[in-house]
Chain A
Amino acid sequence: MAYAGPVLLKRIPDDPAQRKLYRYADYIATGGYASLKKVLAMLPEDVIKLVVDSGLRGRGGAGFPCGTKWTFLPKDLFPRYLAVNFDESEPGTFKDRYLIDHDPHILLEGIAIAAFANKISTSYIYIRGEYHHEAKLLEAALAEAYEHGIFGQKHPGTDIVSHCYVHRGAGAYICGEETGLLESLEGKRGWPRIKPPFPAVAGAFAKPTIINNVETLACLPAIVEHGAAWFKTMGTPSSSGPKLFGVSGHVNKPGVFEEELGIKMSTLIEKYAGGVKGGKYRAAIPGGVSMGVLGTDQYDAELDFDIGRKYNVLGLGTAGVIVMNDKTDLVVMLRNIVRFFAHESCGQCTPCREGTAWMHKILNRIVDGFGQPQDFDVLAELCLTMGAMPGTTICGLADGANWAVKTFLQKFPEDFKSRLKSRQVQGVAVTGAVVA
């Protein structure tokens, strides 16, 4: 492990007063687009091999190896598209926004590298609807990039002209699911697609498509510059490289911090985020609310792609850590999480459409003080019956809701059980009458 300083955030200083937007000239002056120049002299296959060797895993949540994803493209099918997933709408996640707010060209360079390596003709940056400011920044940066020949040129050695567009979403969480994103990109309702065919074979407009997260692509310039071996010196063997961690919740200094993968959550909170605020650490969500919750005894959890297996959560997700102190009402917290999923369920598959709303209604009732003992079991059963992991839904949205509910119930059962009373007992308490 040798993390020597920021890689992704190298142009974004820690001190808010010194942060500024890096335009094209600033970006070039700080060594920008040097990696692209280096790449254009390489063979596309060598670039793909470099990314495979670096062990770069997708930063969007699932942690799928980026280079492997690229190799799924069918050999002779053109045109190919790249969809950049900037639909960052997971509660607790704001890392991509932070990056683009100050350094949009690092993404564009990453896109240009990926486009060259995979002979992509058009790249679409699918940006979350609510990111008005970032959409404007990217449009401006893109205009600069076109002006300086980063896009709008043929890939060396081919007849494929590389283009890049910003496509604004309309504010739906489900459009961050890769096939939902493609549907939305095509102008349709953002309902995730059934697979097969997989996007690598028939994605956007039924053509081979790669979908990568903003941060994943932003890692590419550094990998090209320093090589795969250097990239692997950071992080753990299975999770290499630096990672942006967004810390929010009960901490003194919330924000986005860069560290190598595999650091302890306690280190992240204490060294970077200024420690827990307003009380002691009780619980934390490792990476966006869909990943579930880490318990009180899991404060030292290593934040890498193996966290799911080790600490009984869904995974690292987007590494947007939400910290909760010991004064947090976890039932209300869970209700808020489930409300999000009930609101954002696209409504395609029966279990997710009905199940998330049902869980929300039950939690509402518990928060209102009308919870009954069987509610705990109903919640526990509901969150096992739906999701892409048991196979009962098309996409993973329901899994996110389930893991949140499941881990809260498993790790903090007393918080819930203490609120559940049978109705007769309530009747006695309220009216004083004896219930036969």
Chain B
Amino acid sequence: MPTMEVDGKKITFEGKKMILQACLDAGVELPHYCYHSGLSVVASCRICLVEAEHPNPKDPTQMIKIPKLIPSCQTPAMDGMKVYSKSPKAAANQKAVMEFLLINHPLDCPVCDQAGECSLQDYSYKYGRAESRFEEDKAKKPKKDIGPHVLLYSDRCIMCTRCVRFTHEISGTGELAVFGRGHKEEINVFQGRPLDNPLSGNVVDICPVGALLDKDMLFTQRVWFLKSTPSISPFSSGGENVFIEHNQGRIYRIKPRFNAEINKWWISDEIRYGWKFVHENRLSKLVVGGREEIAWETAEAHLDGMMRKTVAEKGPGSTALVLSAFDTTEEMYLAAKWIRGIDRQAWLVLNPPRVDGTDQTFKNPVTGAITYVIRAEKAPNRRGAEKIISHFSGNTCELSDLAAKVAGGAFGAAAVVLDPVPGTDRAVETALTGLDNLAVLSSRPTALTGRAALALPVCTWAEKSGVFENFAGRIQAFDRAIEPLENTRCSGAIFWSLLGESGTYRSQDGRLMMGREGLPDYAGVTVPKREKKVQLMEFSPL
């Protein structure tokens, strides 16, 4: 494998790569602003310049020193190359570029949302100078509202044009452009064409400074308080990898997590801004018969008793379990196992998730390469639910067929897990019209929880762990980000204790159980490690 030496450290790389990308892949940090692995190379910020020497192709024992500074983002890595990013010449350039970038920067870090995760701040400490020599007036540029989700503070902008390239190469919508020239140039939208596309929030992520700001997050939290938990998108069947960023039990934002095979660096706005249901309009009381509040132990016994009584009265096949495609696979397994333990012929029904038209595909208009797909199916785990239902086989039916069975009087009771977001409520209500012995597990109050014999408040995805299986059958685990809302439990915990298992429910126990009981795919799935977000600052002598 070709190797390269960067500041005395040997790194290996594969295939055709630029020096900067090879370094980043090997975990060696070179400063860069305009370069982004997912976008085209423009080599315009000029902070990634390095000195380099490479072997003479005619005589590999001799090294040829490249006389100029070279942009590491644009120069292909060569076997045997030596790269110096801390040489006096390279360091002087880093210092100069930092000074240039800061002379017209407002330095309003105390009121800037990016502060704490800002490349300008980090590199300023690492590569910049302590004092400014700029005595002139700073150029003043306006703050602009450029779209439904994004603000542009032009005065903080360093013209890396990552956002412009994103709208041209990834979303293919081209709303952003550079206007003006020289030191007066600004990024802007065209008149009457706001930055309004289903991927618009990504420009905030790729902005290395605080120029592009998320209206949703604006001034709500300093980023150094945020804890970041790797998770899986709970809204679509793509299985997009995300970070849940939260503090003190409250989510503040969702950020994309790189996954080369699924979402790359991006997520859609519906995933980014769809987490609000976690904190809004939650069901937090256990209700029996629409009125009485009871404790969890009583409620679980009540649920179990209701089903057993129905089976005793009406015989096998008189109960049903309606599963939600928003639940984790383990939870569905435990629920199905529980009800089949009571009623061997219990009906297993999947509440089919909402499907919005067809998949929305984004392409690079020039190369035609697919850059992102927004899945039409708006639930994360339909495949998991189907797998569980087919695993237990026996009596299964469509939700729409349930209504006839209820009307025919064959049913006595049903346990329903409701979706955490509205959309399929009406279908479930219709299917279960006239059924009185109804136990509803829901994270929010709905018409069904109002009329249910037993309504139990459950957790949302951010408050529990487990696995989702995406449209392509990819099983991905995620961890709990925040503590469950007071008085709520995840459905897995409810059925875990109803099954008579001891101890607190943990999703890996559920997966081990599934592995033992004929679903070996799940036993080995592990939760991604929490990534250390804050890097230790490294000061290099200049």
Contacts and interface: CB of A to CB of B under 8 A. Distances in A.
A391 interface: yes
Contacts, number: 95
A349 B161 CA distance: 11
B181 interface: yes
Contacts of B137: 361
A226 to B, nearest CB: 40
Given A385-B96, A392-B93, A374 B133 contact: yes
Interface residues of B, number: 36
Nearest to A391: B68
A349 B69 CA distance: 14
Interface stretch (B41-49, B265-273, B318-326, B485-493): B41-49
B189 to A, nearest CB: 16
B178 interface: yes
A372 B135 CA distance: 11
Contacts of B139: 357
Contacts of B74: 194
Contacts of B68: 389-391
B471 to A, nearest CB: 37
A393 to B, nearest CB: 7
A387 to B, nearest CB: 10
A274 interface: no
Interface stretch (A129-137, A157-165, A320-328, A337-345): A337-345
B185 interface: yes
B92 A351 contact: no
Contacts of A189: 178
A346 B44 CA distance: 11
Contacts of B159: 347-348, 350, 353
A394 B136 contact: no
Contacts of A385: 92-93, 96
A172 interface: yes
B455 to A, nearest CB: 60
A390 B103 CA distance: 21
Interface in A334-382: 342-351, 353-358, 361-362, 365, 372, 374, 378
Nearest to A194: B43
Given A194-B41, A394-B43, A346 B181 contact: yes
B133 A378 contact: yes
A391 B69 contact: yes
Nearest to A172: B181
Given A347-B182, A357-B182, A358-B103, A392 B96 contact: yes
Contact of A393 (B42, B46, B103, B134): B46
Contacts of A391: 49, 68-71
Q: Interface centre among A348, A355, A385, A393, by most B CB within 10 Å?
A: A348
B223 interface: no
Contact of B69 (A346, A354, A362, A390): A390
Where chain B touches its partner, the secondary structure class is: loop
A349 B97 CA distance: 10
Given A189-B178, A354-B183, A348 B42 contact: yes
A14 B45 CA distance: 49
Contacts of B100: 350-351, 353-355, 358
A337 B141 CA distance: 25
B97 A345 contact: no
B43 A350 contact: no
B182 A194 contact: no
Contacts of B92: 385
Given A354-B100, A358-B136, A394-B43, A347 B183 contact: yes
A345 B182 contact: yes
B277 to A, nearest CB: 43
Q: Interface centre among B104, B183, B184, by most A CB within 10 Å?
A: B183
A136 B340 CA distance: 88
B46 A349 contact: yes
Given A194-B41, A355-B100, A358-B103, A345 B183 contact: yes
A194 B42 contact: yes
Nearest to B50: A391
A347 B42 CA distance: 13
A411 B476 CA distance: 69
B203 interface: no
B118 interface: no
B349 interface: no
A213 B287 CA distance: 85
Contacts of B49: 391-392
Contacts of B134: 358
Nearest to B74: A194
B101 interface: yes
Contacts of A351: 46, 96-97, 100
A339 to B, nearest CB: 11
8 contacts: A342-B182, A350-B46, A353-B159, A353-B185, A356-B183, A358-B100, A378-B133, A391-B70
Please provide the 7 A-B residue pairs with the shortest distance between their CB atoms, ordered closest to farther: A391-B68, A391-B69, A357-B183, A354-B100, A361-B136, A345-B182, A347-B185
